[in-house]
Chains A and B, each alone.
Chain A
Amino acid sequence: MAKKEYSFYPGCSSQSKASADNFMRSANAMCDALDIQLNEIDDWNCCGASIGYAGGSEIPRLSLSARNIALSKQQQGDKDIVAPCAACWIATREAEDRVNENAHVREGINAALGEIGLKVEPNQMPKTRHMVEVLMEDIGIDAIAKGVTNPLEGVKIAGYVGCQTNRPFGIAGESFENPQYLDQMIEACGAEALNRYEKKVSCCSGALMFSEPQKGQALVKDIIEAAYDGGADMIVTPCQLCQMNVESYQRDINKTFKTKFEMPVVYYSQLIALAYGKSASEAALDGQIIRAKKLEEKAK
């Protein structure tokens, strides 16, 4: 495979020692295995995330993403921007759509960008894609399966796609109600995907986990319970916020609901890194609050 190069927008949670540090470490190992080169956008800023609306209204919020798009274009031309975080990805795509379709918003954004010598033009912005799109469309599931040297046999995994990697844009050709790509990735890595995981596209409560923890925990409880019901050893997700919400509050959930959950929640990048022969540390398995012991046993 020839090396594939992209402009890279990691997002806040993927920074060193931030909440998705384990994602980024494993994604680096995965990209090394798959011969993908990510060129970080210099001085990228936060996308506003899905809660940005609450403090920043439409034009300030969208200006944030427009700045990233303009910087990427300035630094890396028309190269596709790759975002591994669902919130970053959809915020950037929404900004692009709004700039293309809404002259008033475009005028406001460009007035704001003008303060720092940048601008965006309709239909001339680089495309922003999710990391998963790159894997499925540019590498392809068959090619991913072909390179596996350490199949993760005997591990049963619930593929939890969640919301924002799936809606409103989703991965081309997939349905909103039952997307298949995550299960295909699990199987490509030699593990077993849970059949009919009932909570595959349910909401983890997003940012409301922080402001409304009781309501959030009630949603996550069902997501974990459904994985146990299907006999899963662990959950895998493509989303940084889903990972955090579903993994790290299990202690609180156990207290509130008198459950005994201890369900590991890992990233697809960790599965692929391990299946390609990377070590437990390269796959950042030490970044799990609830250790994924079955994967640790499989690691080379």
Chain B
Amino acid sequence: MSEMNQAMIEKYRSNFLQEVEANVEEGHWVKMCMQCGVCSGSCPMENNWDHPPQELFMMIRANKRDEVLSSSSMWMCTSCYNCIARCPRGLPITHIMHGLASYGKRMGLAPKEQPTVKFGDIFWKSIVENGRVNELKIGVGLYFMNGFVQGIKNALAGKELGLAMMKTKRMNPMEYFGGHKCKDRSGIAKMLAKAAEFEAEHVAKFGK
């Protein structure tokens, strides 16, 4: 690597805001936050996060990289878009929350054993494999994501709901052995692999 590149890396080493702007979905908006807190007041999960959105934005400016990227706060987002609808500065906060969560995961900093992190992987796997969501397999995966014993407990607890869904023809037990899927599954897998490859190639390197 040339000396100039090295100098650039040094310059950005401690600048998490620039990293967010370069690598996080809609991250270039973060600097526009004026700390009014309307997002916090509009969030349905207000009792459940460690840091409300405007605090995360200030932490980004204050260079608290690991604290932000390893926080579970973004993973509390229900995607209700209330913060986007109400933000007086027009920040796409929902997208930034998703982007921070996703980037934290890419950097290996997402909280371990966080249920939405795990659920997200189960959900995405269904899309990559089938092109469509297999609701039954996702449901079963969800029951068993914390181990076999807990899975059996969950499945028993959810039995009545499962039966009700079947009775009302809103769940098909045969879905477990196949079910709805796209025809061009190999094409979809190739497309997604290419998209991931393009994105990985364009992640700007910062810090360590």
Contacts and interface: CB of A to CB of B under 8 A. Distances in A.
Contact of B192 (A22, A56, A251, A288): A56
Contacts of B168: 21-22, 286-289
Nearest to A251: B160
B contact residues, range = 35 or more
A289 B164 CA distance: 6
A3 interface: no
Contacts of A19: 135, 165, 170-171
Given A45-B188, A56-B127, A289-B168, A203 B80 contact: yes
B118 interface: yes
A251 B147 CA distance: 25
Interface string A5-32: 0000000110111111110000000000
Interface stretch (A103-111, A127-135, A147-155): A103-111
A114 B197 CA distance: 13
B85 A176 contact: yes
Contacts of B202: 104, 108
Nearest to B81: A167
Contact of B120 (A16, A55, A60, A203): A55
A64 interface: yes
Contacts of B98: 53-54
By secondary structure, the B interface counts as helix
Interface residues of A, number: 66
Contacts of A215: 45, 48, 76
A222 to B, nearest CB: 10
Interface of A: 12-13, 15-22, 43-46, 48-60, 63-64, 67, 90, 94, 104, 107-109, 111-116, 163-164, 167-168, 176, 202-203, 205-208, 210-212, 215, 219, 248-249, 251-252, 286-289
10 contacts: A18-B171, A53-B120, A55-B121, A56-B196, A115-B194, A116-B188, A164-B80, A205-B44, A210-B142, A251-B161
Given A50-B79, A54-B101, A55-B124, 19 more contacts: A12-B132, A12-B133, A13-B135, A17-B169, A18-B170, A18-B180, A19-B171, A54-B102, A54-B117, A58-B99, A104-B202, A111-B198, A115-B193, A167-B82, A168-B94, A205-B44, A210-B142, A212-B48, A248-B161
